[in-house]
Chains A and B, each alone.
Chain A
Amino acid sequence: MNYGFLIDQRKCIGCHACSTACKSENQVPLGVYRTWVKYVEKGAFPNTRRSFQVNRCNHCANPPCVRICPVTAMYQRTDGIVEFDPRVCIGCKACMQACPYDAIYIDPETHTAAKCHYCSHRVEVGLEPACVVVCPEHAIISGDLNDPESEISQLIARQQVSVRKPEQGTAPKLFYIEADEVTLTPTAAPFSDSFVWADLITEQQIPVFHAAPAESLVPGGDGRGAAAQTAYSGVAIRAPSAQGLGREGGPIVIGEGSMAEHMVQTAYNAQHEIPWHWPVPAYLVTKGIGSGIFILLALLFGLNVSAFSQTFALMATLLSLLFIGLTTVLLVVDLERPERFFTILTRPQWKSWLTRGAFILIGFTALAGLWFLLEGGAYLNFLPVSLVGALRPVFLTLGFVLAVLAAIYTGFLFGQAEGRDLWQSALLPIHLVVQALMVAAVVLLVLGQFIAHPVELETALLWTFGASLVVDLFLILLGEFGMPHASEMAARAAHQISHGKYRGSFWGGAVLAGHLLPLALLLLGASGGGFSFGFVMVAALATVAGLYLYEYAFVMAPQELPNS
């Protein structure tokens, strides 16, 4: 048994019966949808058409929401239905990030994730899903894909079908007959802040395209970017535009359509909440500090950069533990069901980097905490110094490994977020380590203002700080944003950060305050100014604030792009 859906858009009349039948069957609250119908208008009068598309969970054969769920609240049944259990869900919203189809929402009543579950409660008593039954046109077909004689199998076999975002590798089992590219591709149709009969109250949006004045358009052509250069042959050519962003100023238009502002526009869609807000970038910063401090600590002592200083070790470990603790608090606070946090420990789903991360953080906290107690014990002469000293390399080594994992696991977690292409960056783990070293170094420099560091330690920290600032800047400018992105969604998100809504945070915050200012301060200090308290504090604040603003843009921008 392998259940799937087929939407026959040849027959769909856009009546929304599926939407209300689903609300009725599953008692779905206002504000969220398990299935909805998107409208896109295209064409210039009188050759205009409105395309419909029924959207919902794709019941992917390879569901990313299941892989990322830390507690098996989202799971794939053996009959192919992707189901959820609100009794287990902790509300981490990772599944919403993993879903490339905007199919998952947080239920306002239970505060847990929810979506279309193929009416599995009906299927188990032998009934079709409610949307299938209600559809006046029998345009929604459910059935067993394993059965070659089922209606769905035969239609898929005989008709040309398409799926949404096959490149995500999710193997969707929601097939469409004659769905239009303008509805299949979320970025193909721009929308304004309201629809043909409904408002749009959401943070999620793609840029609104405004038409240039008609006279600036070239009739019969693309219109934009009129001849800018000359080819070798002498023919006038257009300058290539930015990679990955599609046609600047809107979708490709045809014929007389280029004269029309609203050649393609979204006329109706459901709105979707953004799952993660400020706690996530804040968590990235605190985790960077917490893990980075221990990495530095281990490196400094492990590589004998500086002689072991118990005071420094204790203070630094305490700081590390504090920031990792803060990290955990932020993580838990951001859960919709924080009281269920421990479910991760009781029913871990090991494929999820959220689970792995939680265990890494816990492991790190336990190890660092134990070491802190040992060193503290030795410091207070409760424990023999020799024993502690002998164990020290073990703790430093294991702690180093766990701290590195703590710093980088978010990269793998973000990598599991199939719905956010920008986050799926191979550079991310290394980037996270560099960021961790950068903020940890400056925090430890601040610490040095209270407990005087040995000179070699201070120097090492300054060098680390300076080097990580440079490397991080390099990674940001050339890696994350200079390098073209593999998908349009990633490119659009990056564009929003560097040129759009977040350009202030990015250039002013991340680049200027977060990197150039501290670098300038470092150079000033190194060239004779020295590193006074105020100097270090300014550098630290600018670096931490810059990192936060960077992470904020990095976390928010991809979420604001529609996945449907």
Chain B
Amino acid sequence: MHQRLNRFLEAVASLSSRLSPELSLAGTAIPAVDAARPKAANLSALPGAQERSPSASPLVAKGEAAGLSSYPPVEKWDEWEEYDPKAWPERVKRRYMLIPTTCFNCESACGLLGYVDKDSLEIQKFEGNPLHPGSRGRNCAKGPATHNQVYDPERVLYPLKRAGKRGEGKWVRVTWDQVLEDLGERLRKAFQEGRHNQVIYHVGRPGHDGLMEWVLFAWGVDSHNSHTNVCSSGARAGYAFWMGLDRPSPDHANARVVLLISSHLETGHYFNPHAQRIMEAKMAGARLIVLDTRLSNTASLADYWLSPWPGSEAAILLAIANHLIHTGRYDREFVKTWVNWEQYLKAEWPAEPCTFETFEEKLKELYGEYTFEFAAAESGVEAEVIRQVAEEVARCEGKLASHTWRSATAGNLGGWQVARALWFLNVLTGSIGVEGGTSANAWDKWVPRPHKMPPHPDRWNELTWPDEYPLTFYELSILLPHFLKEGRGVIDTYFTRVYNPVWTNPDGMSWMEVLTDEEKMGLHVCLTPTWSETAWFADYVLPMGHAAERHDITSQETHGGRWIAFRQPVRRVALERMGQDVNYTYEANPGEVWEETEFWIELSWRIDPDGSLGIRQYFESPYRPGEKITAVEYFRWMFENTVPGLPEAAAERGLSPLEYMRRYGAFEIRAGVEAPYIQPVEAELLEDAHVDPETRIVYSRAPAPASPNITPHPAFPDDGGGRPVGLQVGDQALRGFDTPSRRLEFYSPTLRQWGWPEHTIPGYIHSHVHPEVIDQQANEFVLIPTFRLPTLIHTRSGNSKWLYEISHKNPLWVHPRDAARLGLRTNDLVRVSTEIGYYVIKAWVTEGIRPGVVACSHHMGRWRLQDTAMERWSSALVDLTPQGEGRWQMRHRQGVLPFESSDPDSKRIWWSDVGVHQNLTFPVHPDPISGMHCWHQKVVLEKARPEDRYGDIYVDTDRAHAVYREWLALTHPASQVSPDGTRRPYWLLRPFRPTRAAYQLPSGKFAE
């Protein structure tokens, strides 16, 4: 009765809060269904609340009582009964325990609810977790498909060691103990001999926050290598030069204008949570503007789809900026307060009066050339359309939610300026850190500090952070094969984790050449849940858990808010709740599948069993001194100590913080937008502080308190005059931005000091595929090879049968005009030649692409060299034949065929095509500033030749190395330009930041 009353009262409250002027004939208020803003189910209604479909929440009480629920009520999650769907309509009851976890397919970390059958302990299915603040119980196609990955008959279940030559495909099963002993011994030896830099940990999808900072710092290595420069270096650099933080966090839901240079209604960081909120905004009347050369699903739903010539995006954005500037429709007060215009004027126009009016004049001069006509000429988009879009932006009233991540910033030389130009619009409209605007990721992210955080390492690894790229975001991971070929170093032990560089990176053949060279690559350890092209070239293949088989903490800036989510091994949790003792997650996992947290703890323990290397201390339990920490203790301590509000929320429900997270899987730390830059400097920092009279920067000598949140921030050490901690604005000391000027750096002194004076302000750099270098008459085209599909995620979804059934090929998008010129029709074979080779693929003739440009999704073209059980759902069997030194030919032997396995569906595979692996034919194109691999390719198209077969690939790796040298020549190495003898501006973000001493260039390398 009490529950019903509560529910009724809630319904009434929700109604009254959104009383609509519309009244039905009966006079009762009609809920504003269209404008309904779904939100995550409210835990405060617990216990007893019937969790409802979020967006159905405004339904009146009657509907509430009579309607269906989206989820079983939380208080029944331990004991939930449902009818067996296979036996239906016979009513066979099945008993489940519902355990929350987190999806591991893309980076969004959406909530899942694993249905563990209480009788068989099998996982029946995954639904959404309604208590997850980011995904709010809803998922994309990849969420439910997690089940395919867990029950993939082809997954790796036991540790394997190579038996023959590397890459030969011969494996023997080994025990985990053997693996750990071997690796522990090997790494101990390397560390004892000071060969720390020969150990590299290369990760694709981290899937967790904070863990590796803890592990690698404990080892004292600068070993971290990421996939960032095939993904987001361009965008990161653009954002970071502005504000120190390198990632946007748009509050789409409350925006008036959503401006995307991304395809967040179908893919991208954070597809599902963003897509929910973008469409909410659109339904509430926001305008959706999408810049994308190809017709993405996102573009399809946009109010304005702009299909620019690839690389011209910044020209369009600056034309919009110019419109705002010239019509005076920018937030003058915001710009005056928060932009480092004084610094700009003093540096570039010292003779002129340093007033805001001067700056405004300069803005008009600087951007006057970016007329709509200019942008139209560069982009091919009609000037009138750009004008309309500029008008929309001008009308955004400080509520501009914008986003770019891969897309143009990842495609073009100078792509980082696209992000910079986009953020310029947020700056001009004052849409930063406000409701409906865009925040910085770090403001909305929480990475809890572990119980014992090791110090920063005292080493600099030049294999990942080379001299040539002092401003890169981040590691130059794509250049590793070339660095090794050049003899810049060797690798003793190379860990790849959820990473498939042979397939994902450009120039995969060079990766294969290096991975098979045992002199350059001592030992390759592949941590993976499933087979991949890279795992094939490993010495150890170590099976790691999928989303439902591991613990991780994740926190993503999905919206205006802040949350953490807890990925859980759902069977382990179910077993424990049923009273069974589980000491290690692998005990509850299939085969001998481990989770990384336990692996790294165990390995670290074996590297330093006696504590003599100083590593062991970090892996001792905070609860049992001197003993090895368990994974659960590692998380438990954080939940108890470094997640604000969680202990209290747990206590309210009579739970420990760990029990709370076990039960609900997520915790919302803050709802709503909050920006630190307008908050006052913390009182304790102001105790020993002074304000620089000229710059009004507030410096404090108080030591920085250890934050419970270890989300990376720019670093500003105390060089004697205190640390910059804020900005004097009027009579207030506000925190400001994480930049040396504490302001938004329209003008980047860093870029000037580090050798790029021509790029200090938001600008437009001609891409390497600018129309002037494309000879369309010679059948030269720009290839956009970067786009993702809504159903797949790189190579992690190859074992998801439901996803591959929907999408399994990647034809080349060609405009009908170009197709007619080349004599192509849909499904005709076409040869696409790059700088280093070619591939043969089918055409898809469509009006959804700009003439002169072709596009091909990177998601397809998986392959395997042997017909053993290896991702047979999604890979073609190929022959890889050397054609002489550095020349490789790949040819499809057969596509996908049905096969026998424990899953009867494998016999029902009906598709055979798996697409073509185009990335093999791309050379590396590292942007000289951001380090971003500039994905777009200048290609030559021709109808396939008689000898060509579908899927043919040819690559010349010598030529690939030559192209690498050409791009390397564009750089300004630190040793030549560093203003202070350091390798990189210390303040700039750097993951796994070493000590300040390690930033010093070795003597003799510094030119001055």
Hey, which bits of chain A sit against chain B, CB under 8 A?
A: 10-11, 13-17, 19-21, 23-27, 29-31, 41, 43-46, 48-52, 83, 85, 87, 108-109, 117, 119-128, 130, 132-138, 142-144, 147, 149-151, 154-155, 192-194, 196-199, 201, 210-211, 214, 260-263, 265, 267-268
Known contacts A127-B72, A198-B806, A262-B846; is-contact A83 B141 (Cβ 8 Å):
no
Known contacts A128-B69, A135-B138; is-contact A20 B910 (Cβ 8 Å):
no
B53 touches A11 (CB 8 A): no
Min Cβ gap A21→B in Å is 5
Chain B residues with CB under 8 A of A83? 89
Chain B residues with CB under 8 A of A27? 85-86
State A544–B140 Cα separation when bound (angstroms). 55
Min Cβ gap A124→B in Å is 7
B67 touches A150 (CB 8 A): yes
Known contacts A136-B140, A197-B808; is-contact A214 B67 (Cβ 8 Å):
no
5 contacts between A and B (CB under 8 A): A133-B127, A136-B139, A136-B140, A194-B842, A211-B816
Chain B residues with CB under 8 A of A263? 847
Q: Is B128 an interface residue (CB 8 A)?
A: yes
State A199–B913 Cα separation when bound (angstroms). 7
Say which one of B142-150, B170-178, B636-644 lies at the interface with A.
Answer: B142-150
Q: Is B71 an interface residue (CB 8 A)?
A: yes
Q: Is B848 an interface residue (CB 8 A)?
A: yes
Residue among A26, A48, A194 making CB contact with B848, cutoff 8 Å: A48
Considering the complex, give the chain A residue whose CB is closest to the CB of B306. Answer: A46
B275 touches A194 (CB 8 A): no
State A262–B824 Cα separation when bound (angstroms). 13
Chain B residues with CB under 8 A of A31? 805, 908, 910
B297 touches A50 (CB 8 A): yes
Interface string of B616-628 (1 = CB under 8 A from A): 0000000000000
A130 touches B827 (CB 8 A): no
- Chain B interface extent, by class: 35 or more
Chain A residues with CB under 8 A of B857? 197
Chain B residues 799 to 857 lying within 8 A of chain A, measured CB to CB, are 801-803, 805-811, 813, 815-816, 819-820, 825-827, 842, 844-851, 857
Chain B residues with CB under 8 A of A123? 68
State A46–B389 Cα separation when bound (angstroms). 15
State A240–B154 Cα separation when bound (angstroms). 60
Residue among A13, A26, A151, A196 making CB contact with B85, cutoff 8 Å: A26
Chain A residues with CB under 8 A of B789? 197
Chain A residues with CB under 8 A of B70? 127-128, 132-133
Considering the complex, give the chain A residue whose CB is closest to the CB of B873. Answer: A30
Q: Is B428 an interface residue (CB 8 A)?
A: no
Q: Is B711 an interface residue (CB 8 A)?
A: no
B847 touches A48 (CB 8 A): yes
Q: Is B83 an interface residue (CB 8 A)?
A: yes
Say which one of B56-64, B435-443, B575-583, B884-892 lies at the interface with A.
Answer: B56-64
Min Cβ gap B778→A in Å is 22
Known contacts A21-B144, A149-B59, A262-B846; is-contact A13 B266 (Cβ 8 Å):
yes
B67 touches A30 (CB 8 A): no
A16 touches B790 (CB 8 A): yes
Q: Is B337 an interface residue (CB 8 A)?
A: no
Considering the complex, give the chain A residue whose CB is closest to the CB of B844. Answer: A196
Considering the complex, give the chain B residue whose CB is closest to the CB of A123. Answer: B68
Q: Is B212 an interface residue (CB 8 A)?
A: no
Chain B residues with CB under 8 A of A48? 295, 305, 846-848
Min Cβ gap A387→B in Å is 52
B63 touches A147 (CB 8 A): yes
Min Cβ gap B848→A in Å is 5
Q: Is B126 an interface residue (CB 8 A)?
A: yes
Min Cβ gap B299→A in Å is 8
Min Cβ gap B815→A in Å is 6
Q: Which of A11, A117, A210 has the most CB of B within 10 A?
A: A11
A17 touches B816 (CB 8 A): no
A194 touches B849 (CB 8 A): no
Residue among B63, B84, B90 making CB contact with A150, cutoff 8 Å: B63
State A440–B381 Cα separation when bound (angstroms). 71
A19 touches B802 (CB 8 A): yes
B790 touches A133 (CB 8 A): no
Chain B residues with CB under 8 A of A87? 90
State A144–B144 Cα separation when bound (angstroms). 26
Min Cβ gap B57→A in Å is 10
State A124–B81 Cα separation when bound (angstroms). 11
Chain B residues with CB under 8 A of A260? 816, 847
Q: Is B283 an interface residue (CB 8 A)?
A: yes
A124 touches B63 (CB 8 A): no
State A265–B816 Cα separation when bound (angstroms). 12
Among all A-B residue pairs, the 4 with the closest Cβ atoms: A24-B144, A121-B83, A197-B807, A50-B300
Min Cβ gap A32→B in Å is 9
A125 touches B275 (CB 8 A): no
B908 touches A30 (CB 8 A): yes
A194 touches B809 (CB 8 A): yes
Known contacts A46-B307, A127-B72, A151-B59; is-contact A194 B297 (Cβ 8 Å):
no
Considering the complex, give the chain B residue whose CB is closest to the CB of A265. Answer: B846
Q: Which of B34, B36, B144 has the most CB of A within 10 A?
A: B144
A16 touches B806 (CB 8 A): yes
Chain A residues with CB under 8 A of B33? 151, 154-155
Chain A residues with CB under 8 A of B72? 127
A198 touches B808 (CB 8 A): yes
Considering the complex, give the chain A residue whose CB is closest to the CB of B827. Answer: A194
Min Cβ gap B769→A in Å is 19
A50 touches B59 (CB 8 A): no
Chain B residues 844 to 877 lying within 8 A of chain A, measured CB to CB, are 844-851, 857, 860
Min Cβ gap B984→A in Å is 40
State A393–B419 Cα separation when bound (angstroms). 94
Q: Which of A134, A136, A154 has the most CB of B within 10 A?
A: A136
Chain A residues with CB under 8 A of B307? 45-46
State A524–B904 Cα separation when bound (angstroms). 61
State A87–B91 Cα separation when bound (angstroms). 13
State A210–B126 Cα separation when bound (angstroms). 44
State A15–B138 Cα separation when bound (angstroms). 12
Chain B residues 98 to 129 lying within 8 A of chain A, measured CB to CB, are 125-128
Chain A residues with CB under 8 A of B816? 211, 260-262
Known contacts A120-B89, A127-B72; is-contact A49 B908 (Cβ 8 Å):
no
B141 touches A15 (CB 8 A): yes
B815 touches A45 (CB 8 A): yes
State A135–B140 Cα separation when bound (angstroms). 7
B908 touches A127 (CB 8 A): no
Contacts beyond the supplied A21-B139, A23-B144: 10 A-B pairs with Cβ under 8 Å: A16-B790, A41-B295, A122-B83, A135-B138, A144-B67, A149-B60, A151-B56, A192-B826, A193-B827, A194-B826
Q: Is B911 an interface residue (CB 8 A)?
A: yes
A30 touches B806 (CB 8 A): no
Min Cβ gap A4→B in Å is 13
Q: Is B905 an interface residue (CB 8 A)?
A: yes
Residue among B66, B86, B137, B851 making CB contact with A147, cutoff 8 Å: B66
Q: Is B30 an interface residue (CB 8 A)?
A: yes
Q: Is B937 an interface residue (CB 8 A)?
A: no
Min Cβ gap B329→A in Å is 26
Chain B residues with CB under 8 A of A210? 825
A262 touches B301 (CB 8 A): no
Chain A residues with CB under 8 A of B140? 15-17, 136
Considering the complex, give the chain A residue whose CB is closest to the CB of B792. Answer: A197
Q: Is B179 an interface residue (CB 8 A)?
A: no
A13 touches B279 (CB 8 A): yes
A136 touches B272 (CB 8 A): yes
Chain B residues with CB under 8 A of A143? 63, 67-68
Min Cβ gap A176→B in Å is 16
Known contacts A25-B125, A136-B275; is-contact A128 B850 (Cβ 8 Å):
no
Chain B residues with CB under 8 A of A201? 910-911
State A197–B860 Cα separation when bound (angstroms). 9
Min Cβ gap B243→A in Å is 29
Known contacts A16-B806, A144-B67; is-contact A134 B848 (Cβ 8 Å):
no
